[in-house]
Structure 1
Amino acid sequence: MQWNELIRDVTAISRGPISAENAISEITITGIEYDSRRVGARSVFVAMRGGTTDGNLYIDTAIRQGAAGIVTDSPEAFAQLAADDPKTPRLLVEHGRPALAQLASAFFEHPERKLRATGVTGTNGKTTTAFLIESLLNAAARSSILVGTIEYHVAGEVRPSAHTTPESRDLFELMADGANRGATELVMEVSSHALDQGRVTGIGFDVAVFTNLTRDHLDYHGTMEQYFAAKRLLFDGTKYPFPRVAVLNAGDPYFPALAQAAAKASSQVVTYGVGIHADWRADDVRLTPAGAEFSLASPFGSTRIKSGLAGEVNVLNLLAALAAANARDVPFDQLANAIPTLKPVPGRFQPVDAGQPFTAIVDYAHTDDALRNLTALAHQLIAGTQGRVITLFGCGGDRDRTKRPKMGQAAGEGSDFVVVTSDNPRSEDPEAIIAEILPGLAATGTRYIVEADRTRAIALALTEATPGDVVLLAGKGHEKEQILRRGTIFFDDAEVALSALRALGYGGGR
């Protein structure tokens, strides 16, 4: 692909001249890059301004490394390039990220046209819902691409996940690879950051799912109103094409506003909920340690469901997935038959079993709402017994500080005993983070201890447990590392817990 062909559909403010001297029209472009460190001979560098850095500072580096053309969102950088290196083809755009998406789409031969996309957004439940949607599509013999927090799936191949929603260049490459392998479906978690920053530009979502909205990411968005406004972008047609079908949680406080926005944009609104009026509804829900049973009602049929996914929150996630897969033309009977085959998602209410007489669970819950859901589920497991709920958690550093006392309060109100520890402190002092957690926890009157070292804290939580208790190791879930001021170390809550259980004299495995 040559320069003129590549930039044909890019919305530009100004274009640098192409002369016979540089003969760019005869050069085959080898890649599109937004990271100057990845620029190679004959690739195009997209220099864009970001929240923490400005790619325009690295234009000279990209040219030294062989960039065949520069796309920039800085008028100053564009003018400087024209003065210093007039032979290098250049393009000035208003915003770098939309241009990156347009370029990537063209370079990777428009994989979005070969796929039907389902996007899942919300504070909690995105990962589980996306996994379930993909599983239901696969059960209907659809080949898929999954893009999410835990991992990526590309037509059956599992790959590590770098970001919940990657930059558009990487996303289009992933989509192209999957489409070339026969994938026809794209299922992805769509974060509020990605929506706000334009990382999903160029992808027309056929189905969009909203799980819920609770307090999170206010270090980035500032207010709940701005956080909701970012989520709404997936549905309202103002920044992205509106979805054909909007699948919405009818029990969430933000549902009315979101339903109104989706309907105004001409999407078909499909609702789901537990024990409330909704298109896809669960009634007579019976929760057990092994999962859940409920009566499923939908516009396409009704049946009694037995699911291996524990807790009411997973009933909601399953309803969302069923509605979304049905919107992607999977018949009701096929969906119902597939439910018994669905498996829990790694790091989401994941049991750690070494033969101990109590339950140990690893979960990703890292907001106050998620902690409340998690402890409520634990109480469902011990209902009618003398068992206790023991919760271990911490809060991430360099993130929204206002949620720290709220998480302390949520843990205290939902637990019989709490162990406060580190999560990913990043550049912050773990003790300082814990100090901001404790006022909310102390106000509940629940007994607690503090141990900043997460390995020792996990051992303390498990040592505290007696037969019939439930120990919740919350916050990190599937993560395999801990980010500290001194650097990143390998850390797997499930592995650490298993080692601690063995040290306590229990055997067996997960």
Structure 2
Amino acid sequence: MHWPDLIAEITAVGSSGTAAQPITGIEYDSRRIRLGCVFVAMKGGSTDGNRYINKAIDAGAIGIITDSSHSYDHLVVYKPEVAVAEVEHGRRALAEASAAFFGHPERVLAATGITGTNGKTTTAFLAESLLNAAARETVLIGTIEYHVAGEVRPSLHTTPESRDLFELMADGASRGATELVTEVSSHGLDQGRAYGVPFDVAIFTNLTRDHLDYHQTMEKYFAAKRLLFEGTMYPPPRVAVLNAHDERTPELAGAARIAGAEVRTYGIGIGDFRAASHTLTPGGAVMQIETPAGSAEVRSHLAGEVNILNLLAAFTAAHARGISFDQLVGSVPQLTPVPGRFQPVDGGQPFTVIVDYAHTDDALRNLIALARQLVAKSDGRIITVFGCGGDRDRTKRPKMGYAAGEGSDFVVATSDNPRSEEPRAILNEIEPALKASGVRYSVEPDRTAAIRFALGSAKANDVVLIAGKGHEKEQILADRTIPFDDSEVALAALRDLGYGG
């Protein structure tokens, strides 16, 4: 690809120069520039890429796409052989340039996007599994990991920048993938990271309080989610799959229909695709699924009502992607739990230990309610270990404290990625809500010590919930990041307690 070919595919307001040599890459990070690259200089949330144009040119960039060049005219030293294009929207230009450079993989992969506060990761994994069971090759982009036609790669961002997304898509398409399943975060939607991806199916799981450190208000948070459905910043999906239980769904359904999308709802007892009845079992659930395409009894290995909803969302989306009802029903029993989502830790102990990613008050409440079902027929207690992240929405802290306290029999409040904040200061904002709930509790800033204390306090039939980190493998402190895996820490503690040999 040469510069004129690239310019023909982006929305530019002006351009000058023509780079002679072929383009070797598209980059938005000047540190990744190599000879022959085009550098997309765009304003970001924490920095402005236009400040690094000189660095990109010195590193070998042959073309610059900029959204605010005039702000830095007095600093930039262009070379005659470097072509320049001016654009109004940097991230949109990045997506357009990336789609063109990587051969338009969005025209090969049919995209399913999942947004919502809770359940995105589980729903994405389940949707991919249902597609794979129908012999479709997939690309999965999400919080835990990426999948590229069966190859597992580490996840860098829930929703990567469009350049990286298109590269992953192109890699998958070259390996025979025909489907993209991706979590689409509110940050990613608001910042335009999903520009250029036409979503065939879009799923809305729910909306509860989260990320207000970024969005500031619930209305702005919801507005970011709504972008996936309303056809303003992004094309509307062909099919919108919406949680019938969420109070925001009627508004979202209205916006989606106006934009031209078909709306399908899902739920427990309600919705187009619904669990008309269900029985929770120690190993999952048995449910009677009723849909416009048919009815059947299915057995799932995913525990709790929240996972019934996640399964129904994935089931509805996969059906919208052309998988038959009977094939989906046959695939459900083979579905397995997602890493870090209600993940059991078994060291041979006489009580249950669960690691889960729950890091909002709503998710924590759901997690504890599920644990309560496990101890309903015994004298077991629920012991909950949790914390709140530093440099994040502080209004969540008392809400999570109260959610943990009102549902648990004993709570250990601890650290969960304190980042630049003092762990004790975070815990001081949680503790009043624990007191108000009336629960017995302990405060231990050291997460390892907190997990060990909780496990040492457990008796037969109890359930110990270790919440907040789930699949994460590190703890982010003020001065360093250290390896930290809740399940490994729990297993080590159980061994020290004499379990597991």
1:384 Cα deviation from its structure 2 partner: 2.1
SS in 1 for 2:348: coil
Aligned positions of 1:250-289 closer than 5 A: 250-276=244-270, 278-289=271-282
Contact residue 268 and residue 277 of structure 2 kept, 8 A: no
Contact residue 78 and residue 90 of structure 1 kept, 8 A: no
CA distance in 2, matches of 1:199, 1:84: 28
Match of 2:370 in 1: 377
Contact residue 243 and residue 313 of structure 2 kept, 8 A: yes
Match of 1:226 in 2: 220
Aligned positions of 1:32-71 closer than 5 A: 32-71=26-65
1:84 Cα deviation from its structure 2 partner: 4.7
1:322 aligns with 2:315: yes
Within the candidate set 469, 472, 487, 1:494 is matched to 487
Residues 37/255 of structure 1: CA separation in 2 closer, same or farther (3 Å cut): same
CA distance in 2, matches of 1:324, 1:83: 51
SS in 1 for 2:92: helix
1:160 Cα deviation from its structure 2 partner: 0.4
Within the candidate set 137, 140, 149, 2:131 is matched to 137
Contact residue 190 and residue 224 of structure 2 kept, 8 A: yes
Contact residue 285 and residue 299 of structure 2 kept, 8 A: yes
Deviations 1:165-212 (A, max 9, x none): 000000000000000000000000000001000000000000000000
CA distance in 1, matches of 2:34, 2:17: 22
CA distance in 1, matches of 2:373, 2:80: 69
Match of 1:15 in 2: 15
Within the candidate set 125, 129, 142, 1:148 is matched to 142
Match of 1:430 in 2: 423
Structure 2 unaligned runs (5+)?
none
Structure 1 unaligned runs (5+)?
19-23
SS in 1 for 2:442: strand
SS in 1 for 2:437: coil
1:439 Cα deviation from its structure 2 partner: 1.5
Contact residue 384 and residue 466 of structure 2 kept, 8 A: yes
Q: Which amino acid aligns with 2:245?
A: G
CA distance in 1, matches of 2:473, 2:282: 26
1:104 aligns with 2:98: yes
Contact residue 147 and residue 189 of structure 1 kept, 8 A: yes
1:77 Cα deviation from its structure 2 partner: 4.8
CA distance in 1, matches of 2:430, 2:80: 56
Contact residue 345 and residue 490 of structure 2 kept, 8 A: yes
1:94 aligns with 2:84: no
SS in 2 for 1:365: coil
CA distance in 2, matches of 1:228, 1:141: 35
Contact residue 279 and residue 299 of structure 1 kept, 8 A: yes
Aligned positions of 1:409-424 closer than 5 A: 409-424=402-417
Figure out how many residues of one structure are paired with residues of the other and give that number: 501
Within the candidate set 170, 176, 181, 2:170 is matched to 176
Within the candidate set 112, 115, 119, 2:109 is matched to 115
1:88 Cα deviation from its structure 2 partner: 1.9
1:275 Cα deviation from its structure 2 partner: 1.6
1:363 aligns with 2:351: no
Contact residue 390 and residue 470 of structure 1 kept, 8 A: yes
Match of 1:450 in 2: 443
Match of 1:3 in 2: 3
1:373 Cα deviation from its structure 2 partner: 0.2
CA distance in 2, matches of 1:110, 1:79: 33
CA distance in 2, matches of 1:353, 1:171: 37
1:79 Cα deviation from its structure 2 partner: 3.8
Match of 1:461 in 2: 454
CA distance in 1, matches of 2:126, 2:323: 13
1:6 Cα deviation from its structure 2 partner: 1.2
CA distance in 1, matches of 2:422, 2:49: 30
Q: Which amino acid aligns with 1:170?
A: D
- Give TM-score scaled by structure 2 length: 0.99
Residues 61/82 of structure 1: CA separation in 2 closer, same or farther (3 Å cut): closer
1:81 Cα deviation from its structure 2 partner: 7.2
CA distance in 1, matches of 2:208, 2:161: 25
CA distance in 2, matches of 1:124, 1:174: 25
Match of 1:342 in 2: 335
Contact residue 416 and residue 475 of structure 2 kept, 8 A: yes
Identity across aligned pairs (percent)? 68
Within the candidate set 230, 239, 254, 2:233 is matched to 239
1:304 Cα deviation from its structure 2 partner: 1.0
1:86 Cα deviation from its structure 2 partner: 4.5
Q: Which amino acid aligns with 1:280?
A: F
Residues 78/102 of structure 1: CA separation in 2 closer, same or farther (3 Å cut): farther
CA distance in 2, matches of 1:60, 1:342: 51
Deviations 1:204-249 (A, max 9, x none): 0000000000000000001000000000000000110000000000
Contact residue 78 and residue 92 of structure 1 kept, 8 A: no
Q: Which amino acid aligns with 1:7?
A: I
Deviations 1:35-59 (A, max 9, x none): 1110001101111111111111111
1:266 Cα deviation from its structure 2 partner: 1.0
Match of 1:298 in 2: 291
SS in 2 for 1:302: strand
Residues 200/440 of structure 1: CA separation in 2 closer, same or farther (3 Å cut): same
1:369 Cα deviation from its structure 2 partner: 0.3
Match of 2:471 in 1: 478
1:85 Cα deviation from its structure 2 partner: 3.5
1:75 Cα deviation from its structure 2 partner: 3.5
SS in 2 for 1:297: strand
SS in 2 for 1:101: helix
SS in 1 for 2:235: coil
Within the candidate set 368, 380, 388, 2:381 is matched to 388
Contact residue 359 and residue 471 of structure 1 kept, 8 A: yes
Q: Which amino acid aligns with 1:448?
A: Y
Q: What's the Cα RMSD here?
A: 1.1
Contact residue 414 and residue 444 of structure 2 kept, 8 A: yes
1:283 Cα deviation from its structure 2 partner: 2.3
Q: Which amino acid aligns with 2:15?
A: R
1:284 Cα deviation from its structure 2 partner: 2.2
Q: Which amino acid aligns with 2:205?
A: T
